[in-house]
Amino acid sequence: MEKLPDIIGIFLVQLKKDHKKGSLVTGGIGIDGKLLYRDSEVPGDLARFKKYSGGRTIVFGPGTYNGLFIKPLPHRNNIVVSRSYPSELTEIAPKLYHINDLDNAVLAAREHFPEQEIVVGGGEPVYKKLIPQCKYLIVTEVYGDKEADRFVTIPKGMFKEIERIEHEHNGLKYDFVIYERIVPVNPELESDGS
Ligand SMILES: NC(=O)c1ccc[n+]([C@@H]2O[C@H](COP(=O)([O-])OP(=O)(O)OC[C@H]3O[C@@H](n4cnc5c(N)ncnc54)[C@H](OP(=O)(O)O)[C@@H]3O)[C@@H](O)[C@H]2O)c1
């Protein structure tokens, strides 16, 4: 069977200070269109984002794209998904594409950039729909109590932790974590033995 490029989710999530590591990961990712934490508060997070999204195709919603980036991220294909965009993948600036549906965004990314892994860049509904298709999740878990209005959950029993590096900066504890999928995306396709 043809090997499809992996899909990778990447996000920073705030967990409660008394969060028990290894338990359900569910918490805030944003407030008022912005991230909860600046890179100066969580050193290394931005570098990690660049490392894992660089050279790949990143998919995000218009709120995330317009709120965080304004212009296409360099060294990667940027696909922004909105129901008001065209149904075909449309290049509107170098390395910046529009499309109107999340499933079509994944299909189009595989068709147009077949060698590249697809990075799921948020926000909330984009993670909700595409995390269940991800092979890896690159997660920064910050232990704090800021108010949030956008959230993410890693579905229970779908991923296992394969790496955790603990950090602390100015009293703020945060971990760089990698999760790997442990259940097939589509059991019918992956269990035919071919
Ligand atoms: N912590 C992190 O790592 C992280 C990462 C990313 C974002 N964020 C935060 O999240 C917030 C922004 O995210 P958001 O959820 O508000 O907005 P968003 O990124 O714009 O995502 C939601 C939009 O995506 C489009 N969309 C969703 N599902 C779709 C589908 N099935 N088909 C077509 N389009 C679809 C819709 O756009 P239309 O309404 O135009 O159709 C929807 O309004 C900000 O606070 C940002 O800082 C945090």
85-141 pLDDT per residue, tens: 999 999 999 999 999 999 999 999 999 999 999 999 999 999 999 999 999 999 999
Residue 186: predicted pLDDT: 65
Residue 112 contacts by C-beta under 8 Å, 6 or more apart in sequence?
77, 89
Calpha distance 8→109 (Å, rounded): 13
Pocket test for ligand 1, best of 12, 29, 129 (most atoms within 8 A of CB): 29
Q: Is the pLDDT of residue 27 over 90?
A: yes
Tokens found for residue 134: 């991800």
- Which residues have CB under 6 Å of ligand 1? 11-12, 29-30, 33-35, 60-64, 67-68, 81-84, 100-102, 121-126, 129, 150
Q: Average pLDDT in the 156-171 region?
A: 96
Which segment, 1-5, 144-148, 190-194, is predicted with the most confidence on average?
A: 144-148
Check: CB of residue 53 under 8 Å from CB of residue 121. Answer: yes
Rg (CA), the chain: 17
DSSP state of 68: I
Which residue is listed with tokens 């660049």? 50
Q: What 3 state SS string does 72-119 have? A: CCCCCEEEEECCCCCCCCEEEECCEEEECCHHHHHHHHHHHCCCCCEE
- How far, in Å, CA of 57 to CA of 115, rounded? 10
More confident residue, 5 or 159: 159
Q: Is 63's pLDDT higher than 60?
A: yes
- Which residue in this structure is represented by tokens 């035919």? 192
